[in-house]
Structure 1
Amino acid sequence: MASIYEQALGAEFRKLHPRIQERFGFDSIDRIASIGRGTMDRIWYAKWAFAPLMVGASRSIMFPQGGRDIPFQISNYAYRDGFGRETVTWLRAFRFPRTIRKFDATMIYSEKRSRIVDYLGSKQHLAVDLELAVAPNGGVRIQSADQRFYERWIRFPFPRALTGIADVCEWYDDELSCFRISVQVASPIFGPVFRYNGTFQAAFVRMDPHEIPLEARPLREQSRE
């Protein structure tokens, strides 16, 4: 079975750096997880966005805190969700001196939309269409597109002008022998909102379905894409 990222990129997937192909090329059948640990050189947020970022922090979606040389862990688990969809969880933990901040998401490949849909946070309230491309450095570039809010019977698309547009690039640095990541979130109206960049090492570990930690699954799964 092709991973959700290979489905999204098609033949372009083979143009990725071999180490990036490994990180983005596994699925639930492989019964492995990718666990990365490293340091974010800098984490920054816009002070004007403190209130909305605090709301996001309560749902494990970004946070209003910054710093330098912040220990970082990223855990990726592949499994079939309650609706039978191939899913990859992204658990990101940033260890600040007095607290741990989290930025969690679950991704699926939507046949209906012919792209990856990223459910942000612990209850999948926010669904974001993702556009993937191969970066010139052999990394994978991920950009957010349309966004939708779901809460019980409530459903509405976010106007583009009111969303935070994410631009993410993850690549492998052969000189430093490590993965690098750069994340930027900006408002079309107000400008930069949140960003971080740094390096990490990642390794595969054996992970049978019953061994996937409970925190890897959202508190609520959303059927709507």
Structure 2
Amino acid sequence: MASIFEIALGEDFQRLHPMMQKRFGVDVEAGYACVGTGVFSEVRRGAWWTVLFLRFGAFRNILFPDQGDTIPFTVENYPYVDGFARPTVTFVRTLDVPSVKGGRAKKRRFDATMVHSKDRGAIVDYLGTHQHLATDLVLDVLDDGSLHLQTTGQRFYEGAVAFNFPAIGTGTADLYERYDDARGVYTIQMQVRNPYFGFLFGYKGEFTCEFPAIVGDAVPVHLKPVHEEIRE
């Protein structure tokens, strides 16, 4: 069975660099996961007024207000079948953010789980521990075999509440990921911007990957969302 990214990209999947195909080919039937370890050379936030917004996002592992340089991180992509029988892939990034007072580093997480929606004709990216936020991904394979992902059409789901975010309340994420043959590393760069308020959050860095074998959908429990959302 093709991975959710291969389904979404169709023939363009073959234009990805082979190591990018490996990374985004994670699927239960493929029998492996992708675990990356690296360093963000910088993590940045927007103006002072973004701090409250980012702190709110930290409660559900969506965003956080910390910033800094040379921040170690991991990214864990495990495939499984969710409670609604949808092939799913985790995208959990964990950062070891240094303490500003010289104490122990604190861990910050971005949690995301992704499925391919036939109805929407796109990958749906559920953000956070409870999948309250959902957004479609627009994918584009660039000439050098790298991948550009852009979020669009953000929705909120909580119990009986469901609505589309107006433009003023959204943050569009643009993520670029490529494989550097010369150095044998993946590079990543991401920015979240609002059409009215500009830059909100971003990071860039590099990492290497291991591809551990898995049997079935044996995904570490701590990577799964607390709540699964059927609405796409």
Same fold (TM over 0.5): yes
Instruction: Read off the aligned partner of 2:179 and give its amino acid letter.
Output: Y
Who is 1:122 aligned against?
129
Given that 1:146 and 1:160 are in contact with CA atoms closer than 8 Å, whether structure 2 keeps it comes out as: no
Deviation digits for residues 102-155 of structure 1, max 9, x if unmatched?
001000000000000000000000010110010232111100110100000000
Deviation digits for residues 141-194 of structure 1, max 9, x if unmatched?
100110100000000000123200000011101121100000100011110000
Aligned with 1:215 (options 213, 216, 222): 222
Who is 2:29 aligned against?
29
C-alpha distance in 1, partners of 2:52/2:216?
38
Q: How many residues align?
A: 225
Instruction: Read off the aligned partner of 1:193 and give its amino acid letter.
Output: L
C-alpha distance in 1, partners of 2:50/2:205?
22
Given that 2:26 and 2:78 are in contact with CA atoms closer than 8 Å, whether structure 1 keeps it comes out as: no
1:204 pairs with 2:211 = yes
TM-score, L = length of structure 2: 0.95
C-alpha distance in 2, partners of 1:223/1:161?
26
Q: Percent identity?
A: 44
Equivalent residues in 2 for 1:113-192, closer than 5 Å:
113-192=120-199
| CA-based RMSD | 1.0
Aligned with 1:112 (options 114, 119, 136): 119
1:85 pairs with 2:92 = no
Higher strand proportion: 1
Structure 1 SS opposite 2:10: helix
- Which sections of structure 2, spanning at least 5 residues, go unmatched? 99-104
Instruction: Read off the aligned partner of 2:221 and give its amino acid letter.
Output: L
Instruction: Read off the aligned partner of 1:15 and give its amino acid letter.
Output: R
TM-score, L = length of structure 1: 0.98
User: CA shift at 1:215, angstroms?
Assistant: 1.2
Instruction: Read off the aligned partner of 1:179 and give its amino acid letter.
Output: Y
1:67 pairs with 2:68 = yes
Who is 1:6 aligned against?
6
Who is 1:58 aligned against?
59
C-alpha distance in 1, partners of 2:95/2:213?
24
C-alpha distance in 1, partners of 2:166/2:143?
31
C-alpha distance in 1, partners of 2:228/2:206?
31
Deviates more, 1:206-215 or 1:187-196: 206-215
User: CA shift at 1:211, angstroms?
Assistant: 3.6
C-alpha distance in 2, partners of 1:142/1:181?
11
C-alpha distance in 2, partners of 1:52/1:137?
36
User: CA shift at 1:218, angstroms?
Assistant: 0.3
C-alpha distance in 2, partners of 1:51/1:26?
35
Deviates more, 1:129-138 or 1:205-214: 205-214
Structure 1 SS opposite 2:49: helix
Given that 1:41 and 1:69 are in contact with CA atoms closer than 8 Å, whether structure 2 keeps it comes out as: yes
Deviation digits for residues 33-86 of structure 1, max 9, x if unmatched?
111000000000012210111110110001101010100100000011000001
